[in-house]
Amino acid sequence: MTYLEWLKQATQSLAGSGSPKRDAEIILSFVTRKTRTFLMAFSETKLTEEEMTQLNNYLERRKKGEPIAYITGEKEFWSLSFAVSPVTLIPRPDTEKLVELALERLPKEPCEILDLGTGTGAVAIAMATERPDCLFTAIDYNIEAIKLAQSNADRIGVDNIYFLQGDWFKPVKNRKFSMIVSNPPYIDAADPHLSRGDVRFEPLSALVAGDQGLLDIKTIVEVSVKHLKQYGWLLIEHGWQQGEAVQMIFKQRGFQLVTTYTDYSGNDRVTLGRWFKP
């Protein structure tokens, strides 16, 4: 069977997924170690028996709904390649908005930034590549996530991040930062979307929070004031219907310049505020 023949067959087989042709191309490229351009230019190339076995195995996994990123073990974020595994969430394009907004507000001089719930390390590592002069601390409760994030940092080549295992702010005790960023769990346990699509395979502990998805956000906002320097920024990613509620949480704690920004699809996604204590 040729590249082209397999792509046609796989695309038809994956008709139930959101992007069957793209999924098939990613799987074929991953197995053959060829670029999409090569696959198209040499579409009559014959697949080996070993390649066919791998392709069919991955195709069956994708048909059952397993995310492409878990099948290939990698995902692009901020034009960087991250290793992923089922112990962490898969980095999503919408989270790049959090990185973008954070970088815009960093002081020009070197400073310290805290990333809470780092997962794959995507947010901290993306920011660290843009600001090698700054020092980042990234925390996650899951020790396996910390190991994965550290390996991603090593692979990408950033050495200005300290990865720590622990519950939110506990590993940093009395330290203060110029900025705190977080993409915490924010989905309500009763949300029907948890039983659909890729999230079925992702860790619930990284997705679900109590109090209609707001519990961890409330904790972060409440405790962050003890760890922010004067005029420091707090930026939190949240659900598309939570913008107003998260703004209220920020304002009740005394944050100034509280604003909610939309992601690239136009949905409320990141709320931020500046800490100022007279």
- Binding-site residues sit at 117-121, 140, 168, 183-186
- How far is residue 118's CA from residue 113's CA, in Å, rounded to a whole number? 12
- How far is residue 184's CA from residue 168's CA, in Å, rounded to a whole number? 10
- Residues of the binding site for S-adenosyl-L-methionine: 117-121, 140, 168, 183
- Residues of the binding site for substrate: 183-186
Beta strands in the chain (DSSP E): 74-77, 80-83, 112-116, 135-140, 161-165, 177-182, 228-237, 256-262, 268-274
**Residue 91 structure tokens:** 């980095």
Beta pairing partners, 233: 179, 274
How many CA atoms lie within 13 Å of 62's alpha carbon, on the beta-carbon side?
Answer: 29
- How far is residue 119's CA from residue 131's CA, in Å, rounded to a whole number? 20
Contact residues for 222 (Cβ-Cβ < 8 A; gap 6+): 253
Q: Is 122 in contact with 78 (CB distance < 8 Å)?
A: yes
**Residue 151 structure tokens:** 């390996």
Task: Look up tokens 């796989």; give the residue.
Answer: 10
- How far is residue 223's CA from residue 237's CA, in Å, rounded to a whole number? 17
Longest Cα–Cα distance of the chain, Å, equals 71
Q: Is 214 in contact with 244 (CB distance < 8 Å)?
A: no
